[in-house]
């Protein structure tokens, strides 16, 4: 997702409480299922996913 997409979503749905939208700033020059892209996404997202899972496990 690019910043203009995020802006469009936030303006289009401004009346709703949206979840946080992150722009990862990954260039759009990868082929479908590119292994480099997958590695990049894993390195960026795995820590975030782990943190969210830990937070959810600590909820009553």
What are the tens digits of pLDDT across the range 7-60?
Answer: 999 999 999 999 999 998 888 899 999 999 999 999 999 998 998 888 888 776
Rounded CA separation 53/55 (Å) = 5
Query: In terms of pTM, does the model score above 0.85?
Result: no
Each domain of the chain, given as residue ranges in start order, spans 3-57
CB 23 within 8 A of CB 6: yes
């Amino acid at each position: 997702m690019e910043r203009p997409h995020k802006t469009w979503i936030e303006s289009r749905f401004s009346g709703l409480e949206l979840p946080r939208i992150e722009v990862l700033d990954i260039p759009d020059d990868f082929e479908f299922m590119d292994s480099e892209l997958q590695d990049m996404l894993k390195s960026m997202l795995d820590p975030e996913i782990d943190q969210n899972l830990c937070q959810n496990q600590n909820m009553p």
